[in-house]
Amino acid sequence: MKSHKVKKILLIMLALIIVVAAAVLITGCGAKNKNEVLVYCYGDYMDPSLVKQFEKETGIKVVLDTYDTNEEMYPVIKNQAGVYDVICPDTYMIERMAKEGLLSKIDYSKIPNIKNIDKAYLKKANATYDPGNKYSVPYQTGVAGILYNTKKIPKGSITSWKDLWKKQYKGKIIMQDGLRDTMGISLKALGYSLNTTMKSELSAATNYLIKQKPLVYKYANDSARDLLVGNSADLGVVWNGEMLYSQELNKDLDFVIPKEGTEVFVDSWCIPKNAFHKSNAEKWINFMCREDVAYKNFEYLTYSTPNVAAKKKLPKSIRNNKGLFPTAEMLKKSENLRDVGPDGDDLYSYYWKIFKSE
Amino acid sequence: MYRKLLSMPFIFWIFVGTVIPLAMIAYYGFTDRLGNFTINNIIAIFQPVHAQALGLSLGLALISTAVCFLLAFPLAMILKGSSWGRKGFIVFIFILPMWMNFLLRTMAWQVILEKGGIFNTMLQTMHLPSLNIINTPAAIVLGMVYDFLPFMVLPIYNALMKIDDNIIEAAYDLGATKGRVLKDILLPLSVPGIASGITMVFVPSLTTFVISNILGGGKIYLIGNIIEQEFTTSANWNLGSGLSLIMMVFIVISMAALARLDKSGEGNFI
Amino acid sequence: MSKAIKTIYMIIIMMFLYLPIVTLMVFSFNESKSMFAWTGLSLRWYKEMFHDTQMLSAIWNTFSIAISAAAIATIIGTMACVGIIAMSKRSQTVIMGFNNIPLLNADIVTGISLMLSFIAFGFYLNWGTVLLAHITFCIPYVILSVMPKLKQLGPGNYEAALDLGATPAYAFRKVVIPEIKPGIISGFLLAFTMSVDDFVVTHFTRGAGINTISTLIYSQVKVGIRPTLFALSTVIFLVVLVILVLVNFASGKDAEEEEFFYEVAQG
């Protein structure tokens, strides 16, 4: 009789194990076969109605996951903590991921709408962070600058990154909260390159940031614009894409690109090497490059778009907005972020940690 | 003894779900990127940047725990002595906020405390100076106390409820003052509950990174934030694991202290 | 300690606990996205909530994982309690010690260690890994709920039943289980609650495309939370509140129900 009980119990346990294992396997293996595309991108970085439009036109379900910074996205892709079909890294991250073999080559025959992308951007990419344009398709571009409240700060008095260090603005300043972005501002303010790996320069930039810390109200990325619109702060660093949206909500806000030069980002679509749905990813990228899609996206996002065809349709006042579409002359001292190599990354991480913990 | 077999799935789960993962942390903690043995990740805690963050975390956690205790004990006493509806209902009042997602509740504090937020707007209309504690350690303490107060109140409340009222009555009959009753009867008898409450507040406070992210405005880095950075941004799992092992030391110390003070295992928070 | 001071103190604490919750509920009816300015009464976020696929899938994930994890944890945990009681005092202490580890361990360590393990053994992170992770931290809560009840019961009744001719299974079913039922139920509810509210462990073990309500909120914290999440949380909160009030009223003066309620609340 006892052995009968033992058998019963063993059976129950076996059933339990099977149920749990089944749950894991089913949900794991099913992923490859569903007709979907897993997009990993910045939060609120495209018009939601476009996502629905894509789903309607192609029948492919879009699963959207978001990250706040490139540094948050990188380990997820590298360790395969999440397997995505299309991601949206910035220049330096593209360079780094390509070097580490994490990206797959773009098959341009599947992306005919590439013709809408400004050749100048493709040339720049080819010359610097993506030789051969093998891995990336530009999506949004822009620069960092200072957005300030003209009611509190006279218009035109902000011209330099150093203005963010002025004691009179104590408690009213918002800085970005991104490793390369924030370090970049400090480096530029001191006249160094955004991509330096010299300890002396990084150390100086870190100390400069630490000096600023008591004056800063908050370190924020996208929420900075809401704080400025809501008058919780008087000046802060935002991307030029936030300019139009913010000014619409608060007429007193003005945007300026500091004279020392700034960071130029080119967020581009890439396909990770082990993506499950490569062809869906290509369809997604092609869709995003379409003229009408890019135009509609601009209306929602107001970030400067590298899509020439869409740009042509914009009203003249916007096309000539120097804040949104700065001239090459204005960007003389500005740089793309470049990959600094694993040792460089360690250095930056180290100094970032010191600055944050101070 | 087939009954012991019933616990086999659990034992299996402990092994796979707790022992193996901890072993992985130990593995990464004691090796470097190339897989060679090293204790650099462990002694890294003594680097100024880490020691500073750990010091700040310890300080804030201790303050939060103390504040929680000072708020919770009187509250538990009041609840015990009151005839406020049914006992279970009261306890539910404290569990109920847990049903509102804790990120949102913490986020709500950010909204309330923001410079242009509700609290300050109210203060301004009353012509009082505005309160600027957002993005400072004070805001983080507020967040910790708010999130973990129920975990301190409930065990103390349970412990107090277990004290036989007759004992207290007898003490009064024998001439003890209220202070004496508190010092010599209530406090000692509720020690298991207090110990449980302290552990359940101190450990999460020490290791949180979410509260400092939401209420610290990116200006304040606790040890939890550093560990999180090492596992995500810096992709240095070895250092992150090493620091995690140090954190576990604190946890083990808390557990040992709890076991000492609560030998019979009565002081459950539940 | 006058009654007035006591009442004031209670009210202050109550206000402190519920202020953020009420704030969120109020702003869930706000016309605009802003969390600072009230622009008017509107139900738009509630309407949007039902159309937002990302949110609906997060809701599904949260509750499906919570129910499954709580159920499986309850079964494993209850069985474990019965088994552990039959062991020597020494083994009991050791095993209960191990049981406490997930409870007291920092959730960041639990989450990261599980993530490392999954990746090291070649699993892709997905719904299943989140479930496994949740079961891992739910089981201790179940055991902590059931064990005291089991100890309270003592072997007396069970052995008496055996002496009277019942089979072990029958005795277990008819004698032991009814006595520990409150513990099982409260363990289940507790595990369910902890699973729904969990963030850190889910954050590290979720993988691509799987979001729970918590991780969805976190991803929006940096960008600016859409009030649809406030609406969702308000709904959940009100549902729970209604259930509690109903239970409270339904039990009336019934002493047994009150005991049950108290036990459940006790955990």
* Per-residue model confidence (pLDDT) at position C44: 84
Q: How many CB pairs under 8 A join A and C?
A: 86
> Quick check: is B73 in a domain?
yes
Q: 């902890």: which residue's tokens?
A: C194
* Per-residue model confidence (pLDDT) at position C267: 40
Q: What is the phi/psi pair of residue C30, to 5°?
A: -75, 140
Q: Which residues of B touch A230 (CB under 8 A)?
A: 114, 116
Q: Which fold has domain A142-264+336-357?
A: D-Maltodextrin-Binding Protein; domain 2 (3.40.190)
Nearest Cβ partner of B28 from C18, C116, C230? Answer: C116
* Neighbouring C-beta atoms of residue C247, cutoff 10 Å: 16
* Per-residue model confidence (pLDDT) at position C255: 40
Q: Which domains does chain C have, with CATH numbers?
A: 51-224 (1.10.3720.10)
Tell me: the pLDDT tens digits for C59-78?
899 999 999 999 999 988 88
Residue B76 to chain C, least CA–CA distance (Å): 10
Mean pLDDT of all residues in chain C?
Answer: 81
Nearest Cβ partner of A27 from C34, C127, C135? Answer: C127
| Same fold? A31-141+266-324, A142-264+336-357 | yes
Rg (CA), chain B: 22
Q: Find the closest chain B residue to A231 by CA distance.
A: B116
Q: Which residues of C touch A26 (CB under 8 A)?
A: 128
> Quick check: is B97 in a domain?
yes
Per-residue pLDDT for A104 more than 90? yes
Q: Is the dihedral of CA B128, B134, B138, B142 positive or negative?
A: positive
10-residue averages of pLDDT along chain B (270 residues): 73 88 90 84 87 92 94 85 62 73 84 77 77 84 91 84 83 83 83 85 90 88 91 84 89 77 53
* Per-residue model confidence (pLDDT) at position A23: 62
Q: Find the closest chain A residue to B56 by CA distance.
A: A357
Pick the CATH number of A31-141+266-324 from 3.90.25.10, 3.30.413.10, 3.40.190.10, 3.40.630.30: 3.40.190.10
Burial (CB count <10 Å: 0-12, 13-18, 19+), residue B246: buried
> Quick check: is B203 in a domain?
yes
Judged by CB atoms closer than 8 Å, whether chains meet at A80 and C124 is answered as yes
Report the length, in residues, of chain C: 267
At A137, which amino acid appears? V
Q: Which residues of A touch C220 (CB under 8 A)?
A: 43, 66
- Containing structural domain, residue B222: 47-261
* Per-residue model confidence (pLDDT) at position C256: 41
Q: How many CB pairs under 8 A join B and C?
A: 241
Q: Is A73 on the interface with B (CB under 8 A)?
A: no
* Per-residue model confidence (pLDDT) at position C252: 47
Region for B99 from its dihedrals, namely left if φ exceeds 0, alpha if ψ lies in -120 to 50, beta otherwise: alpha
Q: Measured between alpha carbons, how far is B35 from C133 in angstroms, rounded to an integer?
A: 27
In chain B, the number of structural domains is: 1
Nearest Cβ partner of B96 from C16, C144, C240? Answer: C240
Of residues A230 and A172, the one with the higher pLDDT is A172
* Per-residue model confidence (pLDDT) at position B195: 85
Q: Measured between alpha carbons, how far is A238 from A254 in angstroms, rounded to an integer?
A: 11
Q: Is A230 on the interface with B (CB under 8 A)?
A: yes
* Per-residue model confidence (pLDDT) at position A24: 60
* Neighbouring C-beta atoms of residue A59, cutoff 10 Å: 8
Residues forming beta bridges with residue A266, ordered by sequence position:
A141
C241-247 average pLDDT score: 75
ipTM confidence = 0.80
Cα first-last separation, chain A: 69
Q: Is C17 on the interface with A (CB under 8 A)?
A: no
* Neighbouring C-beta atoms of residue B180, cutoff 10 Å: 13
Reported pTM: 0.84
Orientation angle between helical segments B191-207 and B237-261, nearest 10 degrees: 170
Tell me: the pLDDT tens digits for B156-194?
888 888 788 888 888 888 888 878 888 888 888 888 888
SS (H, E, C) chain B: CHHHHCCHHHHHHHHHHHHHHHHHHHHHHCECCCCCECCHHHHHHHCHHHHHHHHHHHHHHHHHHHHHHHHHHHHHHHHHHCCCCCHHHHHHHHHHHHHCCHHHHHHHHHHHHCCCCHHHHHHHHCCCCCCCCCCCHHHHHHHHHHHHHHHHHHHHHHHHHHCCHHHHHHHHHCCCCHHHHHHHHHHHHCHHHHHHHHHHHHHHHHHCCHHHHHHCCCCCCCHHHHHHHHHCCCCCHHHHHHHHHHHHHHHHHHHHHHHHHCCCCCCCCC
Quickly state the pLDDT bin for C263 (edges 50, 70, 90).
very low
Per-residue pLDDT for A209 more than 90? yes
Q: Which residues of A touch B117 (CB under 8 A)?
A: 232
Q: Is C261 on the interface with A (CB under 8 A)?
A: no
Q: Which residues of B touch A349 (CB under 8 A)?
A: 229, 233-234, 236
* Neighbouring C-beta atoms of residue A289, cutoff 10 Å: 24
Tell me: the pLDDT tens digits for A2-25?
566 666 666 666 667 666 666 665
Per-residue pLDDT for C8 more than 60? yes
What are B168's two structure tokens? 């207290």
- Residue B175: CATH number of its domain: 1.10.3720.10
> Quick check: is B10 in a domain?
no
Q: Is A220 on the interface with C (CB under 8 A)?
A: yes
* Per-residue model confidence (pLDDT) at position C261: 46
Q: Which residues of A touch B52 (CB under 8 A)?
A: 357-358
Q: Measured between alpha carbons, how far is C141 from C195 in angstroms, rounded to an integer?
A: 11
Q: Which residues of C touch A64 (CB under 8 A)?
A: 54
Q: Find the closest chain C residue to B214 by CA distance.
A: C221
Judged by CB atoms closer than 8 Å, whether chains meet at C131 and A20 is answered as yes
C88-103 average pLDDT score: 84
Tell me which of A258-272, A288-302, C43-57 is least confident: C43-57
Q: Is A29 on the interface with C (CB under 8 A)?
A: no
Sorted by where each begins, the domain ranges of chain A are 31-141+266-324, 142-264+336-357
Mean pLDDT of all residues in chain A?
Answer: 88
Q: Measured between alpha carbons, how far is A61 from A81 in angstroms, rounded to an integer?
A: 21
Q: Which residues of C touch B76 (CB under 8 A)?
A: none
Q: Are A301 and A140 in contact (CB under 8 A)?
A: yes
* Per-residue model confidence (pLDDT) at position B88: 64
* Per-residue model confidence (pLDDT) at position C154: 75
Residue C213 to chain B, least CA–CA distance (Å): 8
Q: Is A227 on the interface with C (CB under 8 A)?
A: no
Tell me: the pLDDT tens digits for C102-156?
887 888 888 889 988 888 888 888 888 899 999 999 999 898 888 888 887 777 7
**DSSP label of A46:** S
Judged by CB atoms closer than 8 Å, whether chains meet at B269 and C186 is answered as no
* Per-residue model confidence (pLDDT) at position B270: 44
Which chains reach chain A with 3 or more Cβ–Cβ distances below 8 angstroms? B, C
* Per-residue model confidence (pLDDT) at position A28: 53
Judged by CB atoms closer than 8 Å, whether chains meet at C207 and A43 is answered as no
A263-269/A137-149 β-pairing: antiparallel
Per-residue pLDDT for A31 more than 70? no
Q: Measured between alpha carbons, how far is B242 from C243 in angstroms, rounded to an integer?
A: 46
Judged by CB atoms closer than 8 Å, whether chains meet at A75 and B114 is answered as no
